[in-house]
Amino acid sequence: MDFAVAPPTPSRTAPPAPVGPEPWAPPELRLVCLDIDDTLIDCTAAIRVSLHALTGRSDLWPLWDLITEEHVALVVAGKLGYDVMHHRRTECFLAELGISADSAQVTAFEARRRDILATSWQLFDDVLPCLEWLRAAGLLLAAVTNASGAHQRRKIADLGLAPFFDHVAIAGEIGVAKPDPVMFHSVCLGLGCDPAQTVHVGDKLDTDAIGAYDAGLGAVWLDRDGTGRTGERAPAGVHTVTTLDELPELLVSEYATVGVPVQRAAGTPAAQLRGSVL
Protein backbone atom coordinates (compact mmCIF):
# COMPACT_ATOMS: atom_id res chain seq x y z
CA MET A 1 0.00 0.00 0.00
CA ASP A 2 1.35 3.42 -0.96
CA PHE A 3 0.94 6.07 1.72
CA ALA A 4 2.62 8.81 -0.30
CA VAL A 5 0.70 12.07 -0.33
CA ALA A 6 0.42 13.99 -3.58
CA PRO A 7 2.03 17.47 -3.57
CA PRO A 8 -0.42 20.37 -3.21
CA THR A 9 -1.83 21.66 -6.50
CA PRO A 10 -1.37 25.34 -7.43
CA SER A 11 -5.12 25.89 -7.05
CA ARG A 12 -5.06 25.10 -3.35
CA THR A 13 -5.03 28.07 -1.03
CA ALA A 14 -2.06 28.17 1.32
CA PRO A 15 -2.92 28.79 4.99
CA PRO A 16 -2.10 32.29 6.18
CA ALA A 17 1.37 32.72 7.58
CA PRO A 18 1.38 33.11 11.36
CA VAL A 19 2.06 36.61 12.61
CA GLY A 20 4.89 36.71 15.14
CA PRO A 21 6.28 33.73 17.05
CA GLU A 22 3.99 30.81 17.57
CA PRO A 23 2.70 30.93 21.14
CA TRP A 24 3.58 27.30 21.75
CA ALA A 25 7.09 27.58 20.30
CA PRO A 26 10.01 27.20 22.74
CA PRO A 27 12.25 30.22 23.20
CA GLU A 28 15.06 30.42 20.70
CA LEU A 29 18.62 30.93 21.87
CA ARG A 30 21.10 32.54 19.49
CA LEU A 31 23.59 34.39 21.67
CA VAL A 32 25.40 33.60 24.93
CA CYS A 33 27.16 36.45 26.70
CA LEU A 34 29.86 35.66 29.23
CA ASP A 35 31.46 37.76 31.91
CA ILE A 36 35.26 37.42 32.04
CA ASP A 37 36.68 38.07 35.52
CA ASP A 38 36.02 35.22 37.96
CA THR A 39 33.67 33.67 35.39
CA LEU A 40 36.22 32.49 32.80
CA ILE A 41 39.47 33.72 34.38
CA ASP A 42 40.39 33.03 38.01
CA CYS A 43 41.14 36.65 38.84
CA THR A 44 40.81 36.21 42.57
CA ALA A 45 43.66 33.69 42.66
CA ALA A 46 45.87 35.91 40.50
CA ILE A 47 45.22 38.96 42.66
CA ARG A 48 46.03 36.98 45.80
CA VAL A 49 49.36 36.00 44.22
CA SER A 50 50.13 39.60 43.32
CA LEU A 51 49.29 40.96 46.76
CA HIS A 52 51.43 38.34 48.44
CA ALA A 53 54.33 39.05 46.11
CA LEU A 54 54.13 42.79 46.76
CA THR A 55 53.53 42.80 50.50
CA GLY A 56 54.69 39.41 51.77
CA ARG A 57 51.26 38.96 53.36
CA SER A 58 48.57 36.44 52.43
CA ASP A 59 45.69 37.96 54.39
CA LEU A 60 45.05 41.08 52.33
CA TRP A 61 42.59 39.78 49.75
CA PRO A 62 39.46 40.74 51.75
CA LEU A 63 40.72 44.31 52.16
CA TRP A 64 41.60 44.57 48.48
CA ASP A 65 38.23 43.12 47.46
CA LEU A 66 36.33 45.56 49.68
CA ILE A 67 38.24 48.56 48.33
CA THR A 68 37.75 47.28 44.79
CA GLU A 69 33.98 46.95 45.26
CA GLU A 70 33.78 50.53 46.51
CA HIS A 71 35.82 51.92 43.64
CA VAL A 72 34.18 49.85 40.89
CA ALA A 73 30.82 51.14 42.14
CA LEU A 74 32.02 54.66 41.33
CA VAL A 75 32.94 53.54 37.82
CA VAL A 76 29.57 51.85 37.31
CA ALA A 77 27.91 55.07 38.49
CA GLY A 78 29.87 57.02 35.88
CA LYS A 79 31.79 59.02 38.49
CA LEU A 80 35.27 57.68 37.69
CA GLY A 81 37.10 56.34 34.66
CA TYR A 82 38.99 53.07 34.98
CA ASP A 83 42.47 54.59 34.86
CA VAL A 84 41.72 57.01 37.68
CA MET A 85 39.94 54.29 39.62
CA HIS A 86 42.96 51.97 39.42
CA HIS A 87 45.26 54.65 40.80
CA ARG A 88 42.89 55.68 43.59
CA ARG A 89 42.18 52.09 44.55
CA THR A 90 45.87 51.35 45.03
CA GLU A 91 46.35 54.64 46.85
CA CYS A 92 43.49 53.76 49.21
CA PHE A 93 44.82 50.22 49.70
CA LEU A 94 48.29 51.46 50.66
CA ALA A 95 46.78 54.06 52.97
CA GLU A 96 44.76 51.33 54.73
CA LEU A 97 48.04 49.49 55.31
CA GLY A 98 49.53 52.64 56.85
CA ILE A 99 51.82 53.22 53.90
CA SER A 100 52.24 56.81 52.86
CA ALA A 101 52.96 56.82 49.13
CA ASP A 102 53.22 59.70 46.69
CA SER A 103 51.66 59.54 43.25
CA ALA A 104 54.77 58.10 41.60
CA GLN A 105 55.04 55.36 44.20
CA VAL A 106 51.35 54.47 43.78
CA THR A 107 51.87 54.30 40.01
CA ALA A 108 54.92 52.06 40.46
CA PHE A 109 53.07 49.74 42.86
CA GLU A 110 50.15 49.44 40.43
CA ALA A 111 52.48 48.78 37.49
CA ARG A 112 54.30 46.06 39.40
CA ARG A 113 50.99 44.54 40.46
CA ARG A 114 49.83 44.38 36.85
CA ASP A 115 53.07 42.77 35.73
CA ILE A 116 52.59 40.03 38.31
CA LEU A 117 48.96 39.59 37.33
CA ALA A 118 49.91 39.20 33.68
CA THR A 119 51.93 36.11 34.56
CA SER A 120 49.35 34.73 36.99
CA TRP A 121 46.08 34.68 35.02
CA GLN A 122 44.59 31.24 34.55
CA LEU A 123 41.35 29.92 33.10
CA PHE A 124 39.10 27.83 35.28
CA ASP A 125 39.20 24.17 34.26
CA ASP A 126 35.58 24.17 33.04
CA VAL A 127 36.00 27.06 30.61
CA LEU A 128 37.38 25.56 27.40
CA PRO A 129 35.00 22.55 27.30
CA CYS A 130 32.07 24.90 27.81
CA LEU A 131 33.18 27.37 25.14
CA GLU A 132 33.80 24.55 22.69
CA TRP A 133 30.31 23.15 23.34
CA LEU A 134 28.69 26.55 22.87
CA ARG A 135 30.50 27.06 19.56
CA ALA A 136 29.66 23.55 18.39
CA ALA A 137 26.01 24.24 19.21
CA GLY A 138 26.08 27.04 16.65
CA LEU A 139 25.63 29.85 19.17
CA LEU A 140 27.07 33.32 18.92
CA LEU A 141 29.36 34.22 21.83
CA ALA A 142 30.13 37.59 23.35
CA ALA A 143 32.37 38.67 26.20
CA VAL A 144 30.64 41.31 28.32
CA THR A 145 32.93 42.67 30.98
CA ASN A 146 33.30 45.61 33.33
CA ALA A 147 36.96 46.51 32.99
CA SER A 148 39.35 48.84 31.22
CA GLY A 149 39.82 48.14 27.54
CA ALA A 150 43.52 47.56 26.95
CA HIS A 151 43.95 45.61 30.19
CA GLN A 152 41.05 43.28 29.43
CA ARG A 153 41.87 42.74 25.76
CA ARG A 154 45.40 41.77 26.69
CA LYS A 155 44.07 39.28 29.21
CA ILE A 156 41.59 37.78 26.73
CA ALA A 157 44.29 37.46 24.07
CA ASP A 158 46.98 36.07 26.38
CA LEU A 159 44.70 33.27 27.56
CA GLY A 160 43.56 32.28 24.07
CA LEU A 161 39.94 33.33 24.53
CA ALA A 162 39.70 35.80 21.63
CA PRO A 163 38.95 33.23 18.87
CA PHE A 164 35.84 32.05 20.72
CA PHE A 165 34.10 35.42 20.69
CA ASP A 166 32.06 37.06 17.95
CA HIS A 167 31.96 40.26 19.97
CA VAL A 168 33.81 41.72 22.95
CA ALA A 169 32.09 44.47 24.95
CA ILE A 170 34.27 46.20 27.55
CA ALA A 171 32.82 48.85 29.81
CA GLY A 172 35.92 51.00 29.67
CA GLU A 173 35.65 51.21 25.89
CA ILE A 174 31.93 51.79 25.41
CA GLY A 175 31.28 54.11 28.34
CA VAL A 176 28.60 52.11 30.13
CA ALA A 177 28.90 49.20 32.54
CA LYS A 178 26.82 46.29 33.72
CA PRO A 179 24.13 46.33 35.09
CA ASP A 180 23.11 49.20 32.78
CA PRO A 181 20.75 47.63 30.21
CA VAL A 182 22.52 49.64 27.51
CA MET A 183 25.58 47.43 28.01
CA PHE A 184 23.60 44.27 27.30
CA HIS A 185 21.45 45.77 24.54
CA SER A 186 24.48 47.13 22.67
CA VAL A 187 25.82 43.58 22.40
CA CYS A 188 22.48 42.19 21.20
CA LEU A 189 22.18 44.98 18.66
CA GLY A 190 25.72 44.48 17.44
CA LEU A 191 25.08 40.81 16.74
CA GLY A 192 21.52 41.21 15.44
CA CYS A 193 19.91 39.27 18.27
CA ASP A 194 16.87 40.07 20.35
CA PRO A 195 17.50 40.19 24.12
CA ALA A 196 14.95 37.38 24.44
CA GLN A 197 17.24 35.25 22.26
CA THR A 198 20.20 35.93 24.54
CA VAL A 199 21.51 34.52 27.82
CA HIS A 200 24.14 36.18 29.97
CA VAL A 201 26.32 34.22 32.39
CA GLY A 202 28.38 35.81 35.13
CA ASP A 203 29.68 35.48 38.68
CA LYS A 204 28.14 38.67 40.08
CA LEU A 205 24.53 38.22 41.11
CA ASP A 206 23.71 41.92 40.94
CA THR A 207 25.66 43.27 37.97
CA ASP A 208 25.61 40.10 35.86
CA ALA A 209 22.54 37.99 36.56
CA ILE A 210 19.97 40.47 37.86
CA GLY A 211 21.24 43.13 35.47
CA ALA A 212 20.77 40.79 32.52
CA TYR A 213 17.33 39.68 33.72
CA ASP A 214 16.19 43.29 34.11
CA ALA A 215 17.45 43.98 30.57
CA GLY A 216 15.23 41.22 29.18
CA LEU A 217 17.94 38.58 28.71
CA GLY A 218 18.01 35.09 30.11
CA ALA A 219 20.13 35.23 33.25
CA VAL A 220 22.50 32.69 34.74
CA TRP A 221 24.40 33.32 37.95
CA LEU A 222 27.65 31.38 38.16
CA ASP A 223 28.02 30.87 41.91
CA ARG A 224 31.32 29.03 42.05
CA ASP A 225 31.32 29.16 45.87
CA GLY A 226 27.96 27.42 46.00
CA THR A 227 26.43 29.75 48.54
CA GLY A 228 27.27 33.22 47.34
CA ARG A 229 30.00 35.29 48.89
CA THR A 230 27.57 37.11 51.17
CA GLY A 231 24.83 34.53 51.41
CA GLU A 232 23.15 35.87 48.28
CA ARG A 233 20.27 33.98 46.72
CA ALA A 234 19.12 34.32 43.14
CA PRO A 235 15.61 35.73 42.71
CA ALA A 236 12.94 33.99 40.63
CA GLY A 237 13.79 34.04 36.95
CA VAL A 238 17.55 33.87 37.52
CA HIS A 239 19.12 30.46 37.06
CA THR A 240 22.06 29.38 39.19
CA VAL A 241 24.94 27.06 38.29
CA THR A 242 28.01 26.32 40.38
CA THR A 243 30.23 25.35 37.45
CA LEU A 244 30.21 25.98 33.71
CA ASP A 245 29.92 22.21 33.30
CA GLU A 246 26.24 22.66 34.21
CA LEU A 247 25.58 25.29 31.54
CA PRO A 248 24.94 23.09 28.46
CA GLU A 249 22.29 21.05 30.24
CA LEU A 250 20.62 24.19 31.56
CA LEU A 251 20.53 25.80 28.13
CA VAL A 252 19.17 22.67 26.47
CA SER A 253 16.46 22.29 29.09
CA GLU A 254 15.41 25.94 28.90
CA TYR A 255 15.87 26.52 25.17
CA ALA A 256 14.68 23.64 23.06
CA THR A 257 16.20 25.02 19.88
CA VAL A 258 19.78 24.80 21.18
CA GLY A 259 21.81 22.09 19.54
CA VAL A 260 23.83 21.19 16.53
CA PRO A 261 21.53 21.53 13.49
CA VAL A 262 20.77 18.15 11.93
CA GLN A 263 21.70 18.14 8.25
CA ARG A 264 20.03 15.17 6.59
CA ALA A 265 21.75 13.96 3.46
CA ALA A 266 19.55 13.33 0.40
CA GLY A 267 20.10 9.60 0.46
CA THR A 268 19.32 8.91 4.10
CA PRO A 269 16.19 7.00 5.07
CA ALA A 270 14.82 10.05 6.84
CA ALA A 271 15.25 12.24 3.78
CA GLN A 272 13.62 9.60 1.56
CA LEU A 273 10.67 9.40 3.94
CA ARG A 274 10.33 13.20 3.97
CA GLY A 275 10.43 13.24 0.18
CA SER A 276 7.66 10.68 -0.10
CA VAL A 277 5.15 12.55 2.03
CA LEU A 278 5.84 16.20 1.22
Contacts with Mg ion, residue ranges (CB under 5 A): 35, 37-38, 203
In the complex, minimum distance from the CB of residue 52 to Mg ion, in angstroms, rounded to a whole number = 21
Q: In whole angstroms, give the CA distance from residue 91 to residue 184.
A: 32
Q: In whole angstroms, give the CA distance from residue 98 to residue 123.
A: 34
Q: In whole angstroms, give the CA distance from residue 79 to residue 206.
A: 19
User: Which CB atom, from 37 or from 223, has the smaller least distance to Mg ion?
Assistant: 37
**What beta strand segments (E) does the chain contain?**
31-34, 140-145, 167-170, 198-202, 218-222, 238-241
In the complex, minimum distance from the CB of residue 35 to Mg ion, in angstroms, rounded to a whole number = 4
In the complex, minimum distance from the CB of residue 222 to Mg ion, in angstroms, rounded to a whole number = 8
Q: In whole angstroms, give the CA distance from residue 69 to residue 218.
A: 25
In the complex, minimum distance from the CB of residue 276 to Mg ion, in angstroms, rounded to a whole number = 54
User: Which CB atom, from 205 or from 258, has the smaller least distance to Mg ion?
Assistant: 205
User: Which CB atom, from 91 or from 203, has the smaller least distance to Mg ion?
Assistant: 203
- DSSP-derived secondary structure letter, 31: E
User: Which CB atom, from 2 or from 69, has the smaller least distance to Mg ion?
Assistant: 69
- DSSP-derived secondary structure letter, 59: S
CB nearest Mg ion: which residue? 37
Compute φ and ψ for 170, nearest 5 degrees: -120, 125
User: Which CB atom, from 180 or from 203, has the smaller least distance to Mg ion?
Assistant: 203
In the complex, minimum distance from the CB of residue 118 to Mg ion, in angstroms, rounded to a whole number = 18
